[in-house]
Chain A
Amino acid sequence: MPFDPSTGSGLRTGPFLAEWYDLRDLGNAVGAFLDWIRDQGAPDWVPYVVSGLIGVVAILLWVILSQLAFIWIERRVIGRMQARIGPNRVGPQGLLQPIADTIKLFLKEAITSRKADRALFWVGPVLIFLPALAVLAVIPFGRGMFLTDLNVGVLFVIAVASVNTVAVFVAGWASNNKFALLGAMRTVAMLISYELIQVLALLGVVVFAGSMRMGAVVDWQSDFNVWVLFLQPLAFISFIIASAVEIGRSPMDISEAESEIVAGYHTEYSGIKFGFFYAAEYIAAFAVCGIIVTLYLGGWTAWGLEQWVPGWLLFLGKLYLTFFLFIWTRGTLPRLRIDQLMAFAWKFLLPLALLNVVVTGAEVLIWREADLSAGVALPIFGVVNAGLAVALILGWATFMGHLRPERRAKRAVLTQELGAIYYTPPTGTDEAVRTGEA
């Protein structure tokens, strides 16, 4: 069906060109292939199974490739950030380094310590893979390029991610290692808290788009030519932070805080079992970036650009940019302490996220009741919400006392007076936070 500029709806009613060689939707080729199978007189279930297989294989293949790419990108980019070169020995520009790493991990001995719970020690790495992979099933990679478009996709993403908690706990517990157990308990507490933030952040998106279907959210964004990011800046920030927690990225990499608890819940894992954790981390990063792109950054659409450029390329471009954000924070920021991170979730993000939900609900109600046109309503909402986000963050920070002068950076006292004592006991603002948790 040809693209109709007056409605802008050529996107949803069907592919622009349904020829198999139209690269803008790889689903076309698959559809043509399935039709061909049907024409050969195969029984009904064959195309059904084949389409599923194609989807699964494509996603898995892409995940593996892109995970290798992620590892390479991260190592090179962090290398640049750290004023060094990064891996450049294996292959051109070190491109084969991730493969070499993988081979190394395969060849290394997978040690199981004697007092470990053998069965659960094995379950942990497997279980941690599942949520990361399952999330990928509902992400629309391009027009018509998804494994399944669940009508509760957004909820599914959250629900599946919550299984992560159990996997981490099992891994930490089965290792029978104190560092691992500490890391696991930290992670569980942290994931549970930030799951809440994630749900509240996504609620705003769902309220605006009026559907929990991932594809519908993308369509909504392309229909109104607006990314949810501009309507929901506060939710976007909370979601980014919560996602960083979920995939264990700095400054929230407390679960595997290297300098404190060695490697957290996967301290005892080696060889390919460690490789599973390592891979799952990157797959989860891939999935989380995909969710962010789909729900906040317009998915595979970009203001009509998807008519000329394959949508899946746009999607991947955005995905890598989002991933760069995570690399950037990792390369820059130190790590928070667990109680500070929890306090940040409960005392800072949660009230703001709740307020955001209320404001969003009110806006959608106004939009519907006052019968405003989208061209008027959405820009106003965007400006209001951006202003509100800044005001709320600053206001809440002031209210919580984070901006008081004694909490700000200071400089050392310079003196010539030998033997003088300048000591004043700490004012106790941070101390209050600390003991309040205990």
Chain B
Amino acid sequence: MAMKTEPFVVNVGPQHPSTHGVFRMRLTLDGERITDVDMVVGYLHRSMEKLAEERTFTQNIPFTDRTDYVAAMTGNLAYVLAVEKLCGIEPPERAQWLRVIMSELQRFASHTIAVGIFANDCGAWHTPMMHMLREREKILDLFEMACGARLTTNYMRIGGVSRDIPPEFMPAAHALIAELPKRMGEYEGLLLENEIILTRSRGVGVLPADLAIASSVSGPILRGSGVAWDIRKADPYAAYDKVEFDICVGTNGDVYDRFLVRVAEMRQSIHILEQALDMIPAGPVAVQMPLAPRPPAGEAYSRIESPRGELGFYVVSDGGPAPYRFHIRSPSYINLTAFSDMVVGMTVADAVVILGSVDIVLGEVDR
């Protein structure tokens, strides 16, 4: 006969050190093993999609900074791509390349957070994270040079970018790109081959490829499950069709593979940046657009590969200055749906690590 134990329900979050914001999960435990998980989201809901219907297309760009506040550039980009599709305009060449550069810098910065926090969730008492943040700071400095803000960049514009990069940007970026591979070597040595991280993350939170596809997860989680899928290759936007890079995939679909994919993607980002910094042409950075554009009536969906996965914006215009409908397909939210599949049967300690490997941003989950 099985042991009769009280179902031990632990409420993790919304105030908890490793729920990455105000996510809440109710774990039903048998000893330390999780038998059921109940995910509660919405603590950070700001009604963004409804608010956006009251503002002009241009005014909505700052909102996209605040959905995924760890990767503002890609949020900007996905939204302006949708509006550009709606308006049928094509930004100039230099803007395309600037978008690639900013996206990849942002991807690197976002992955430093993801990997650092993941190591933190494994219990590495902040050291990897602080080192990662050191690199992120330098990237944020570059952002500050380009647009004056570090986090809420608000850099992309409908038809281009808000302003050209200053002359000191290029040398700084080149210096950073030259330094990053060395740092990456350090991280790979410290984290990838760390015996404890291996034990903690191998075989934990396995998401098989078929289940991953069926749950429509995207980004590093999908690739960690062994599916070679990347919007940058599948549906190239900006200037991604002109650069050379590889899709990084894992093989086992566990926490370790997601982590591995992120680290490899950081290397790929450096590779892309090296090319982009060389190939960027001179020229205008934006087409002339009215302050409050009125796109023709219609609908557009644009998607990009944000650091967290497929970030899509669905915008419907009725011909007015504000969108009629504004919807965000946020990768964090959809990736989170696979969480319960990964976590049941694991222990409390695993749940935290798995959540860290999903890399959610609550601003994006709750919008």
Contact = CB atoms under 8 A, between A and B. Distances in A.
Direct contact of A and B (CB under 8 A): yes
Interface of A: 78, 81-84, 178-179, 182, 186, 250-251, 253-254, 257-262, 330-340, 407-426, 428-431, 434, 438
B257 interface: yes
B237 to A, nearest CB: 15
A117 B234 CA distance: 61
A261 B348 contact: yes
A254 B125 CA distance: 12
Given A178-B10, A259-B120, A409-B192, A418 B230 contact: yes
A413 B250 CA distance: 6
A407 B193 CA distance: 11
Interface in B233-274: 233-234, 246-254, 257, 260-261, 263-264, 268
B248 A413 contact: yes
8 contacts: A182-B10, A262-B16, A340-B200, A407-B202, A409-B193, A410-B260, A412-B264, A414-B264
B180 interface: no
A411 B260 contact: yes
B32 A434 contact: no
A81 B127 contact: yes
Contacts of A259: 17-18, 120-123, 352
Contact of B248 (A262, A339, A412): A412
B131 A334 contact: no
Interface residues of B, number: 64
Given A258-B17, A412-B248, A430-B203, A339 B347 contact: yes
Interface in B217-244: 225-230, 233-234
Contacts of B199: 336-337, 340, 430
Max count, chain A CB within 10 A of own CB: residue among B33, B251, B257: B251
B280 interface: no
Contact of A334 (B124, B208, B226, B248): B124
Contacts of A186: 32
B194 interface: yes
A422 B249 contact: yes
Contacts of B8: 178
SS class of chain B's interface: helix, strand, loop or mixed?
A: mixed
B251 A423 contact: yes
A82 B129 CA distance: 8
A82 B264 contact: no
Nearest to B203: A430
Interface string B1-38: 00000001111000011100000000000001100000
Interface string B186-225: 0000101110111110111010110000000000000001
A130 B194 CA distance: 37
Given A417-B228, A434-B203, 17 more contacts: A178-B8, A178-B11, A182-B32, A186-B32, A258-B123, A331-B127, A338-B347, A340-B200, A411-B192, A413-B251, A416-B246, A416-B247, A418-B229, A421-B228, A422-B249, A423-B226, A423-B253
B292 to A, nearest CB: 39
Given A334-B124, A410-B260, A411-B264, A82 B203 contact: no
Contacts of B130: 82-84
Contacts of B123: 250-251, 253, 257-260, 334-336
B203 A334 contact: no
Contacts, number: 177
B349 interface: yes
B196 A419 contact: no
Contacts of B11: 178
B18 A260 contact: yes
B119 A334 contact: yes
Contacts of A262: 16-17
Contacts of B359: none
B350 interface: yes
Nearest to A422: B226
B126 interface: yes
Nearest to B30: A438
Contacts of B208: 423, 425
B50 interface: no
Most buried by B among A78, A260, A418: A260
A336 B260 contact: no
A414 B246 contact: yes
Contacts of A337: 199-200, 347, 349-350
B198 A251 contact: no
Contact of B122 (A179, A334, A409, A410): A334
A257 B200 CA distance: 14
A415 B246 contact: yes
Which 8 pairs between the two chains have the least Cβ-Cβ distance? Answer: A335-B123, A423-B226, A423-B209, A412-B264, A334-B122, A414-B246, A82-B130, A430-B203
A253 B123 CA distance: 8
A186 B225 CA distance: 32
B348 A250 contact: no
Given A253-B123, A334-B119, A421 B198 contact: no
A416 B227 CA distance: 12
Nearest to A418: B233
Contacts of A425: 206, 208, 252
B134 interface: yes
